[in-house]
Amino acid sequence: LPPDVDPISVKLLTLARDLQRRKARERHQLFVAEGVRTVESLLASALPVRGLLVTPDARRAPRVAALCDVAETGQVPVHEISDADLQSAADTENPQGVLAIAAIPETTLRVPAAGVSRFLVLDALQDPGNVGTVVRTAAALGVTATICLPGTVDVWNAKVVRGAMGALFSHPVITMDWDRCSSALRDAGVTCWAGDLGGVPLDALDRGTLPERLALVVSNEGAGLSPHLEGSVAKRVAIPMAPGTESLNVAVATGILLHALRPVHASAPAGGATAV
C-alpha cells in the first residue's frame, strides 16, 4: 500500500464492494446504505453500523459533516475514500458521496398471539425501486411485518434500502417460502388474501366483516399471483379501475389495498372513526 492509504478504509471499501452481491450480504449479515438521507436514518436507528465511507468533497457539505459527527460520537469509524472508489462500491445512481456498512437485523417472523394485525407478503416482486416503496408503504400504514417470497429482490440490495427511505431499519422484513409462511400465518390465526385483477372488487366488501388478523399478498403487476398461491389464499380482492386501464404500479396498488383493508378497530386518529 502507498504510505498515505489508510488500511482500514481499504478493508471497508473491499467489504462494501463485496456486499453488492446477495450471497456476500447473506454470509456477512451486513448491508450497504447509500445517500445522505438513508445514512442519516440508519444512524438514527438501532442497527449497529460498522463504518462510514465518505468522499472529501461530500464531507465539506454541512449535512454530511454533521452526519460524520453523529457517527464518530457513536464510535462508528468514518473513513475518507476517493470519488472513484466510492462509485466502485455504490449500487444506486447517485450515492451522494456517502455510504455506510451496517448489520442486517435479525429476521424471524413474530406473529403476536392475539389482537388486530396486518401482514404484507411480496410474491416475486423484482423491481428494487418498487420493493423499497412497498416496504416504506407497509411501515407507514402500520403493517406488523413484511414477508418476501422466493423470486422477490433481496431487500438489503442498496437500491431497495434507499427506496425504503429508512423503513427497513425498523420495519421487520422476513424472507421465507410460501409453505413456511402460510403455515406460520395459519397457526397464528391470520387469514391470507391476495390482491388480484380478477378478484372481488373492494367496493363489494363490507368493512365490518374484515378479518381482525389479515395478511395481504401482492404480486408483480405484469405476472399476477403465482399459480401455486392461487389455491391457498382465502380471497382475492381487486381495486376497481377505469375501463381500458391495465394495471396500477405495485406500490400504489399495495397502498390502496392496505388502506382499504386496514383494521376496523385500529387506533383511530382523534376525530372519529367513520369508514372511508
The residues binding a copy of itself (CB under 8 A) are: 129, 133, 136-137, 139-142, 165-166, 170, 200-207, 238-242, 244-249, 251-256, 259-262, 266, 268-276
Task: Give the three cell numbers for residue 55.
Answer: 468522499
Task: Give the three cell numbers for residue 40.
Answer: 442519516
Output 87 or 249, the one with its CB closest to a copy of itself.
249
Output 8 or 200, the one with its CB closest to a copy of itself.
200
Supply the Cα-derived Rg of the chain in whole angstroms: 21
Give Dmax over CA atoms of the chain in angstroms.
71
Q: What distance lies between CA 197 and its chain's CA centroid? A: 24
Output the smallest distance, CB 184 to a copy of itself, in A.
22
d(CA 251, CA 131): 7
Output 30 or 42, the one with its CB closest to a copy of itself.
42
Output the smallest distance, CB 242 to a copy of itself, in A.
4
H or E element at residue 197 = strand 191-201
Output the smallest distance, CB 219 to a copy of itself, in A.
17
d(CA 171, CA 246): 31
Output 7 or 222, the one with its CB closest to a copy of itself.
222
H or E element at residue 7 = helix 7-18
Residue partners of 72: CB distance under 8 A and separation at least 6:
78
- Parallel, antiparallel or unpaired: strands 49-54 and 98-103: antiparallel
Output 55 or 146, the one with its CB closest to a copy of itself.
146
Output 51 or 263, the one with its CB closest to a copy of itself.
263
Output the smallest distance, CB 240 to a copy of itself, in A.
5
Output the smallest distance, CB 234 to a copy of itself, in A.
16
Output the smallest distance, CB 4 to a copy of itself, in A.
37
